[in-house]
Chain A
Amino acid sequence: MSDTTHSGPVLAADGTPLKRSLARALRMQKLRALMLIAPLLLFILLTFILPVADMLYRSVDNRIVENTLPRTVEALEEWDASLNQLPDEAVYAALAADLKEAAEAKVHTRVGKRLNYENPGISSVFRKSGRKVRKWDMDADAPFKEKLIDIDEGWADIELWRTIKTYSAPRTAGYFLNAVDLKLGADGVEVRPENERIYNTLLIRTMRMSLIITFSCILLGYPVAWLLANLPTSKANLLLILVLLPFWTSLLVRTSAWKILLQQQGVINDTLVWIGLVDDANRLVLINNELGTIIAMTHILLPFMILPMYSVMQTINPSYLRAAKSLGATNWTAFWRVYFPQSVPGIGAGSILVFILAVGYYITPALVGGTKGTFISNLIAYHISTSGNWGLGAALGAILLAVVLILYWVYDKIVGIDNVKLG
């Protein structure tokens, strides 16, 4: 009102700047909104965000070597790994002191296990030595080089020393390199030997199969979504219930059902043999491979594709198709040039949802995937719960997260996230 009369900031009636006045007026509202979400926010922070952050930090955390072997790490700084000479007595003495301390605290096996990830075999060297060094007297038993090598030949291996030196930093890229089939050698990053490469294959397989699953969901879901959007309400509701029905059944039950259906002595094979399409001796292998995973996961993820597509298609007025036809377009042209482009946001939303769910899927590939159809998440689960290599598990998880975020970003660049409608 008065902004034409003076050039400064607009003032409220009492003379305070309008912006501050407005902020004060809205503060209560904001506070109330915050209070309303506070319990959930706290819950998520404690049970989700902090643990995830902690896990992610484990993917680079390497303090264990420095903490357990502080003297050795310090002594090794002088040693030149490229000279092909074993370290001198000072290093062995430092190691003996560290090992004794560690063995007394019973943590020497942990550091052995850590280094074993990078150089298989180290674990046993540490375990064996720890037991004996524990009884040593640091003053009387010197020098230690010969004695240590006596306990385990491993201490005479330059590679072992290189490993310790390479992984003495408090933070390491080792887990991440491991997760993409590389390793940190003495001369920098190198490719792992062929028989140790598994993660790249698995990561690529996960991506490839998730894409296949996403595409089969689009192919199967699009017509259903179209039908849902174009049927009269009563029939559409019935169909919608059929689409949602799987949600009311446990995931495990559905996956187990696929096991029964797909196995070689299963329903599908039996039926095909009975019809005569398949010879009894050559029953189809439909499970414990990629095909099994794709079939079961497409089925399980299909509703996540259909629902966003349906909600977008519902908003497309049927008069667009009529208009296109009245303008001379055949049914196909009308669909392809007019209806389909308008339904793309639904396909996009469904695809993002299905792909992200598929990439991280665990139970179904574990049950029907066999060895050929497992996903990267199965390996993450293995490292977290079986092998105990949390660092590697965390690194694999971080890579998965990064890939999903990158794809999301790419999608945003190409399709535009604003075009995604979930309802």
Chain B
Amino acid sequence: MADASNVDAFVEFERVQKSYDGENLVVKDLNLTMPKGEFLTMLGPSGSGKTTCLMMLAGFETATHGDIRLGGTSINNIPPHKRGIGMVFQNYALFPHMTIAENLSFPLEVRKIGKSEREAKVKRALDMVEMGAFGGRRPSQLSGGQQQRVALARALVFEPELVLMDEPLGALDKQLREKMQFEITHLAHQLGITTVYVTHDQTEALTMSDRVAVFDDGRIQQIAPPDQLYESPENSFVAQFIGENNTLEGTVKEINNGIALVQLDDGELIDCKPVNVSKPGERTRVSIRPERVEYNRERLQEGVHTLKAEVLEFIYMGDIFRTRLRVAGNDEFIIKTRNAPDQVRLQPGQQIEIGWLPEDCRALDA
């Protein structure tokens, strides 16, 4: 994926490093290639280096080492205002002393675009985000969601090929955030803009992106489309960070036909898909998604290894049931079941047997 010579590459990071203090690397050896028109999300906990990457791309931070290319040309030494990259900031950064129309007009004015053309573009951009009637208002007179739309329109009004968004929905309430998530992805795809989106909200990352780059400790841990990321995490960090996840620790006994037999620390045996393990005797952390765990014996495949479990807690959540179990000494083992008419509601204290398909159980690095 991260092939620097890729002809389709629009945005490229090649061996990029960044240090603020000369002692610690915030970004360690970053390689990333983005084709034109892609919606890529940088996801990670705070301090993982994702915002630094965005700032380097925007030109507000300089890379300590490595090359950042945009459309094939290195932009390391190009100042931010010449990069032509649209940017949406976390706090919107709408200029408070200008009206909405003036805010949108600003990037066109500095590009010396004529008045009539400017007005037409501003109007089109405002209409695009359904804010056409608000041109004469000041940012302080708008609600958070409206400001968000204006910030988006301002980042798009000068028709940049690349738009960066730094946690743009962080300040909005849940409902509005979900609405805006949809609108932003819709707009980005409609206009064919390449988008780099930074967030620490994994739901946002999964619902919006073409690909998600999971950052941790200054490195990209995995970069993949949302479904792959969720279903086939490549290491324990990604498995833990994306979605809810159950982990059990053990040792690899043997690997046969793409199935690893893992002996858990309490002696039980389970079948897993080997991902980060290669030979018997290796320590491993096994990861299973809560919704892939099955306790209805009839639905379990013949001959699979099952585990004994004790129900600790049953939580009714409306659309799903969330049940906490004790499995192989782990008190935090969660299973999720859909609220279907024939679904059994487990009772605390009940002893059950659980199992799963070997491919849903991934043996990752310990």
Contact = CB atoms under 8 A, between A and B. Distances in A.
B80 A341 contact: no
B93 A329 contact: no
Nearest to A341: B97
Contact of B81 (A326, A337, A342): A326
B87 A323 contact: yes
A338 interface: yes
A326 B96 CA distance: 17
Interface in B80-130: 80-87, 89-91, 93-97, 106-107, 110-111
A329 B91 CA distance: 19
A371 interface: no
A328 interface: yes
B106 A326 contact: no
Interface string A317-331: 101101111111111
Contact of A322 (B60, B97, B106): B60
A330 B164 CA distance: 19
Nearest to B89: A319
A329 B85 contact: no
A67 interface: no
Contacts of B60: 322, 325
Interface string B160-204: 000010000000000000000000000000000000000000000
B361 interface: no
Contacts of A333: 110
Contacts of A328: 81-82, 84, 107, 110-111, 158
24 contacts: A317-B93, A320-B95, A322-B60, A323-B87, A323-B93, A325-B59, A326-B58, A326-B80, A326-B86, A327-B86, A327-B87, A327-B107, A327-B154, A327-B155, A328-B107, A328-B111, A330-B81, A330-B110, A334-B81, A338-B95, A341-B97, A342-B95, A342-B96, A342-B97
A320 B80 contact: no
B111 A326 contact: no
Given A319-B93, A322-B89, A327 B106 contact: yes
A317 B92 CA distance: 11
Q: Which label, helix, strand, loop or mixed, suits the secondary structure of the A interface?
A: helix
A331 B82 CA distance: 11
B85 A324 contact: no
A386 B215 CA distance: 79
Interface string B59-87: 11000000000000000000111111111
Contact of B87 (A320, A326, A330, A334): A326
Contacts of B82: 328
Contacts of A317: 91, 93
A317 B95 CA distance: 10
Of B58, B60, B86, B110, chain A has the most CB atoms within 10 Å of the CB of B110
Contacts of B80: 322, 325-326
Interface string A328-367: 1111011001100110000000000000000000000000
A342 B80 CA distance: 22
A328 B155 CA distance: 11
Given A322-B89, A324-B95, A327-B158, 19 more contacts: A319-B89, A319-B90, A322-B87, A323-B89, A324-B106, A325-B80, A325-B81, A326-B59, A326-B83, A326-B85, A326-B86, A326-B155, A328-B82, A328-B110, A329-B81, A329-B106, A331-B81, A337-B106, A342-B96
A329 B89 contact: no
A328 B94 CA distance: 15
Contacts of A331: 81
Interface of A: 317, 319-320, 322-331, 333-334, 337-338, 341-342
Nearest to A330: B81
Contacts of A323: 87, 89, 93-95
Contacts, number: 67
Most buried by B among A319, A322, A323, A333: A323
Nearest to A329: B110
A319 B91 contact: yes
Contacts of B96: 342
Nearest to B85: A326
A337 B110 CA distance: 10
Contacts of B91: 317, 319
Contacts of A326: 58-59, 80-81, 83, 85-87, 155, 164
Contacts of B94: 323
A322 B110 contact: no
Nearest to B87: A326
Nearest to B97: A341
A361 B85 CA distance: 53
9 interchain residue pairs of minimum CB distance: A323-B93, A327-B107, A326-B87, A319-B93, A325-B80, A341-B97, A329-B110, A325-B81, A328-B110
Nearest to A338: B95
A326 B60 CA distance: 9
Contacts of A322: 58, 60, 80, 87, 89, 93
A320 B111 contact: no
B89 to A, nearest CB: 5
A337 B91 CA distance: 19
A92 to B, nearest CB: 74
B181 to A, nearest CB: 22
A327 B91 CA distance: 16
A336 to B, nearest CB: 11
Contacts of B85: 326
Interface centre among B86, B93, B97 (most CB of A within 10 A): B93
A330 B111 CA distance: 10
A324 B154 CA distance: 11
Interface in B310-349: none
A110 to B, nearest CB: 60
Nearest to A319: B93
A347 B90 CA distance: 28
A331 B95 CA distance: 16
A346 to B, nearest CB: 13
A178 to B, nearest CB: 47
B198 to A, nearest CB: 14
Nearest to A326: B87
A338 B95 CA distance: 7
Contacts of B164: 326
A320 B151 CA distance: 12
Nearest to A321: B93
Nearest to A340: B97
B11 to A, nearest CB: 15
A290 to B, nearest CB: 37
Contacts of B89: 319, 322-323
Nearest to A327: B107
Contacts of B107: 327-329
Contacts of A337: 106
A119 to B, nearest CB: 58
A22 to B, nearest CB: 31
A404 B94 CA distance: 37
A328 B160 CA distance: 11
A319 B58 CA distance: 12
B110 A320 contact: no
B195 to A, nearest CB: 14
Nearest to A316: B96
